[in-house]
Each structure stands twice: as C-alpha cells, then as structure tokens.
Structure 1
C-alpha cells in the first residue's frame, strides 16, 4: 500500500520532488481545503505538510487514522495543535533554519526604508510631486541599534548593523559576555537597551513573558525620535501604544511586518499613521527561504517515514522502547526542572551541571539532558527549542554542560539536580519523582524543601526571623493574590531560610519589586511552570 503524503499549502517544487523520491510514496497536493475537506483528506494520510495557512486542529488530528508526522515548512507551529498531536503519538517537525537570512534581510530592508522614508517618498512621487526637502531621512552610520533577542535572526541582524557602522546593543537573557564580544555587540539589560537606542528591532519569540514587552511604559523610556522595527512576532509590541506614540511624534517611525491580528484589520490605527512602513508578514517570503524550508521539512519527513534519524522534532524525542520505559517517569521532571532553573538563576548562564542519581543515572540519560535544556531555553525561546536542537542552543549561548552520574542520590535514591552558574551567581535545584505524587522539588539552593514542581510560584531567600512570612503574605493579600501552598526550608534557627509560595495567578513585577524591598529579603523570584 502506498505511503500517502498530503500537502495542503503551497511549498517549493524542490520539496515536492524530495517527497516524491521516497519509494512507495504518493504525494497528494490539495490546497485551500475547508476544515471538513481537510478531515476527509487526512483520514488515510501517513504524513501532512503545511505552511501557516492550514489549521491543524484537534478535530483534524482526530480524523487521521494512520498519521505519523506533521511537517511545518517554516519555524512557527502556532497553527498545529501540539498537545493533540503528542497525545496521538504524531511527530511534529519544523524547519527552523531555512528562513534566517530572509528574515534578517527583511529587517534591514524595513529599517532602511524607515530611515529614508522610501515608501512614502515613492507614493508622493507617483502622485506627481517632487518633494526632496519633505523626505529628508537619517543615516544608520553612527546610530545605536538595540537588538532585543540575540538568537539566529538577531545575530544576523547585528552582523549587518556592524557593517553599516552602527553601535549594536544586544539584549538576551542567554547572551554571555564572551559571545557578545565575539559579535562586536555591547551586552546590556532591556531597560538600558531601550533608553540608549536610536533604532530598536525585536527578535524574540512570542511568549507570555514577551507579550507586549514593548508597551506604553517602555516606549516612555525611549529616546524621543526613536524608530522601532518588528519582523518577529505580532504582539511583542503593543500596537495601540505604538500608534499613540507615533501620532504624538514621540516615536519617529515604525516598520512592522507582523501583527497581533492577521490580516491587519482595515480600521487598525497603524494604517492611519503616516510615519510607518507596513508589510504583510513577508519576513520569510523569498524564493530562497521558501525553497530552503521546503527542502528541510521534506528531508525530515522522508527520514521519519524511513525510520531514520530526524533532527527537528518539536514535540517528541526519538527514544527506543527500552529508553521510553526507563526514562519516562523522569522526562517531565527534567523539563520542569530546566524551566524552573532558567527562572531561578536569571542572568547570562556560563555553565550547567546536571547530576543524575539512581534510575535517572541510566547511560541513556543524555535524552534527559536534552530535556533539561529544552525546558531551560524554552523560557526565552518558547516554540523554537526541541529535544534535538537543545544542545545547539546551549552551544550558541556559550553554556558549558556537564553530566554527573551517581548510583544513589543524596536525599532520595532517584534524583535529578541542576546547578547553573550565571553572572549573578550559582543556583541549584534538586527534584525527584514520588510515585503517585509525581515530580517534586526536594532541595533548593542547598535548603531542604518538598513541593510539587508546577503552577505559579514565588521563591524567596530571606533572614529567618519572626514576621517575615506574614509581611509577604499581607502584601500579596493586599494585591488580591491568593496563596495556595507554602514550603519553608532552613538549616538553623535565626539564620537564612528559603520559601516557595504557590499562588493562584501571575504575580506582577511591581509586586516582586515590593517584596524585594522588605528588610531581610535577600532574593525573590516569580516562577511560572
């Protein structure tokens, strides 16, 4: 029986040729399907290839009787229900590298167009005018560019900015000083980058941490006459706040390729701003990029269907049955500990030591380290990091990773411990799996503690003296933040103690800042898992 590969969005012929080259494959191209037509077409498909148009919902996935893999010819998988695919054991792969250069070049095209008023001058000329004085622009040379997010695309933008004679500020929680120096970039925090920049370009994924990262408050911190560029994801910049700042003249201009709602609504206020450059999500729209992502995802699908090694899995590690059985209880623990450690440590990480004990010290535990790194880097690069490319993210960040294996743990027989060194110090978290109670934290920065590793948490390190816990509880209560649980760890009375509070909703940064001001508080973190 033929292997059916269903393609429901337009992809390059080069990718189709690779799929057709799979022995016994039948490549069926059907675009612009309705949801019902898609459910019918996918019923007997072994593989599905999409770009961004096709919505692969739970209903669609549940209609697939033999689907093994979904391939996204691009980076983002927002149009695919990952949870439903994972539940059904369907592999989801993407093509994370194919459009890097296209996105970086489009960013620069937008920046130059913005600086020199090219679209507006073009329209004006077509209308019969010759207004040379009206369209006087600014040079990029000598200006300061803030690159917010120094991943693959941000790095390529920084390289091009240096060639234009710009001073480049790089903000990224995982950017080390060594890496910044090698790129000729000045590493700085977000607020500094925003205050000092003449141009700002964003290259972060869209997560709950980066949603409206550039809001009215941050815009107010910027230089008057700043210019903003977003070719990353809609929602990183608060579009309403940006439109107001453009109309008021505080922001000299903006070049936007991605929007919170696409297509951009006809009545959107950005359409009424004369000092903007708008494009309809063209960052990856080059002949070369479309061919690259099509080839990359087609090759991956062929590997999966042949049971060969694949690289760009978004939702599942490639494990043997024996590995799955032995390591399954620890995969969730490893990923949650990694995500916890990223929020606990804060700052540019230089080294990580992962200690495995008991059953978690299996020689195949390299998969667990990939899972730890996936959780760790997902905090900043949500949606981009998978089980296979996690080590590459560590390498790009200059993070040295070491594994230590022991036959027995220090607290429980089976343990995973993560120690992360950053420019802000070293932090350590230890966890285990306790039968029906699931993954738990059992030690934190050397203090014994016992709590589920889930939900929204507040971590403090403080002086162990009467009234400390009460003052924090009162402050949270005043802000209508309910405490669901509390664990305190200490070594001696009157010394230092740690506390983990489980709360019912996200904690605003100003609340964390207020807690940090209390006498005796030495460290406070908000952590969401």
Structure 2
C-alpha cells in the first residue's frame, strides 16, 4: 500500500519544483500542504492520514499533544539537524525523526545584506527613486567601524570574515567564547558589556536556548551607542522584543535590521512593520535556492533509507 507523504509549511508553493519528487513514486504519494500553522485540532485533521511528514524548519510546532493526535505518523523529517519546534521525547514513542544538512552560506549572506542595506538606507533610497525623488539623506559607512558579534559559531565566523574584508574592527563575546578561540579568527574577545558599548553594528548569532533567551535585554540595549545598529538573523526571542521596540521608538538606538521575531509570521499590526528605523525581512535567512534544494533532496534520501529499513540522519 502506498505510503502517504505530506510536505507541509510550503508557504511559497516552491517545494514541488525544487527537487524531483517522482523519486518517491515507488514508495508512496506526495501531497503538498501550503497552510500556515494552526491549533492542534485543526492540524490533526489536516495531517491525520499521513505516515510521513516533511516540515520546514520551525514553522509548525509538533508538541506531545499534536504527536499524540497523529497515530498514523511513522516518520517526521525536518530541514536541518536542529528543530526546536519538535518534541523529540514524545516523538521517540514510536516516531522516527530525521534531519538534513544545511547550506552554510545562506544566513551569513543575508546578514551582510541587511547590514549593508540598513547602513546605506537602501530601501528608502530605492523607494524614493521609484517615486521620482533623488538622493534622500546620507548613508552610513562601515570601514573603520566596529562590528560586534554575539556568538562566534559557524555563522558568526563568516560574518566576522565579511566585516574584516570591509575593513571593520571585529569584536565578539558569548558565554562559551575564549580570547584564544576568538583570536583564531582574527577577532578580539571582549566582555558582554564591552561588546554592546563598543558596537557600531551588533549582530546576533546565538542558538536559542534557556540561557540565550532574552539575553539582549533592556540593560544590554541601554549600553549601546545611540548611533548603533542591531542586527538579528538568529532567533527572535534572543532579543527582548518589547525593550527593543521601546529603544527604537525613543531613538536610543539608530536602527535595527531583523529577519526573526517572537511570533512568525509577524502579526499584521506589529510595530516592526511601521517603525522607520527598522529594516525587517520575513525570516528569509535560510530561504535560498541551494538551501531548499539541499533540504528537500536529503528528505527524499531520508524517506528512501527509512523505507528500506535503514534510516539515516536520525535526531532521535
């Protein structure tokens, strides 16, 4: 009997064309579901018939309650090897969970695009040109300025390299970082307070955890220069959203460039949609051609391996 396979969270309706899903024809039938996340009762009705579900990152939350409402589910697949929206302990009760590799350049490239666009005020300049206006105000500069990186992991390291190419002084801090480790990448280790105080551009590159949640709070934002730019392409809850909104409204911070938020999709009347000193994008740091191709091609491999009784890239 054909296995019922769902590809969900495909909000842009792109999944069917990124890879060749006919590779699974001898295993089962693939259905593409484009709906946004909903309550568990609705999700259970929507997904109850499927034995295999492919999810995109952390769009739909699979908690113990929802997993308990999906008795047919045998295999849950996610883009990447980490997904905080999946209850892996509950999934271990008979559901196998597998992941994929990630294209490592997508998020750093988007981070730098945001830094440059916000610094040079490119959105306003482009919109002015379209409106028939010419040269609105002055753009900022990066050469000689200080790039502060909160979290010098694989993404933070690449962003540091970009900053160095642009002639920026690069500093970094995280709870696990040492001066020796930072020096390996030509980066200066500083204290947390020094990181925020010295930053002309502060870019967040931490994994969301109990330790990092709310780490960029009102106190930390208060340490920053009023001319500084905060950039977050990591996870929304690392930054205290209410404190950031207040700082931006009162111009205690020059601006913010954000790709991630506490609630996604961003609510319709959220201040980040209207504040003039915010450049906001809809969590597209991982939404690139190569990353999606890698995610979905390896999901196909995961399904084939699971069907053959030899699952790969297991998260549980």
Instruction: Answer whether TM exceeds 0.5 for this pair.
Output: yes
Match of 1:35 among 35, 40, 43: 43
Match of 2:153 among 151, 160, 167: 151
Give a deviation string over 1:150-169, Cα, whole Å, max 9, x none. 22211221121111111111
2:62 and 2:85 in contact (8 A); partners too? yes
Give a deviation string over 1:330-379, Cα, whole Å, max 9, x none. xxxxxxxxxxxxxxxxxxxxxxxxxxxxxxxxxxxxxxxxxxxxxxxxxx
Matches within 5 A, 1:343-492: none
Which residue in 2 is equivalent to 1:194?
196
* Cα distance in structure 1, aligned partners of 2:253 and 2:91: 43
The 3 A distance-change label for structure 1 pair 276 and 159 is same
**SS where residue 273 of structure 2 aligns?**
helix
* Cα distance in structure 1, aligned partners of 2:34 and 2:272: 29
* Cα distance in structure 2, aligned partners of 1:63 and 1:266: 30
The 3 A distance-change label for structure 1 pair 201 and 307 is same
* Cα distance in structure 2, aligned partners of 1:253 and 1:235: 18
Which residue in 2 is equivalent to 1:108?
112
Matches within 5 A, 1:241-260: 241-260=243-262
Structure with more of its chain in strand, by fraction: 1
Which residue in 1 is equivalent to 2:38?
none
Which residue in 2 is equivalent to 1:68?
74
Match of 2:99 among 87, 94, 99: 94
Tell which structure's C-alpha radius of gyration is larger.
1
* Cα distance in structure 2, aligned partners of 1:294 and 1:244: 40
Which residue in 2 is equivalent to 1:8?
8
Structure 1: where are the runs of 5+ without partners?
Answer: 317-529
The 3 A distance-change label for structure 1 pair 67 and 271 is closer
Match of 2:143 among 141, 144, 147: 141
**SS where residue 230 of structure 2 aligns?**
strand
The 3 A distance-change label for structure 1 pair 289 and 256 is same
Q: How many residues align?
A: 306
Per chain length, whose mean CA-contact separation is higher, i.e. which structure has more relative contact order (CA < 8 Å, sep 6+)? Answer: 2
Which residue in 2 is equivalent to 1:209?
211
* Cα distance in structure 2, aligned partners of 1:211 and 1:70: 26
1:301 deviates by 3.5
Give a deviation string over 1:424-461, Cα, whole Å, max 9, x none. xxxxxxxxxxxxxxxxxxxxxxxxxxxxxxxxxxxxxx
Give a deviation string over 1:113-161, Cα, whole Å, max 9, x none. 110000112222333322x3x4312221111111111222112211211
The 3 A distance-change label for structure 1 pair 176 and 89 is farther
The 3 A distance-change label for structure 1 pair 167 and 75 is farther
1:226 and 1:250 in contact (8 A); partners too? no
* Cα distance in structure 2, aligned partners of 1:3 and 1:265: 36
1:74 and 1:99 in contact (8 A); partners too? no
The 3 A distance-change label for structure 1 pair 274 and 6 is closer
1:5 and 1:25 in contact (8 A); partners too? no
Give TM-score scaled by structure 2 length. Answer: 0.86
Which residue in 2 is equivalent to 1:465?
none
* Cα distance in structure 2, aligned partners of 1:309 and 1:175: 35
Match of 2:130 among 126, 142, 146: 126
Structure 2: where are the runs of 5+ without partners?
Answer: 36-41
The 3 A distance-change label for structure 1 pair 64 and 110 is same
The 3 A distance-change label for structure 1 pair 75 and 123 is farther
* Cα distance in structure 2, aligned partners of 1:114 and 1:268: 19
* Cα distance in structure 1, aligned partners of 2:113 and 2:189: 24
- After superposition, the CA RMSD in angstroms is 2.5
Give TM-score scaled by structure 1 length. Answer: 0.53
1:250 deviates by 2.2
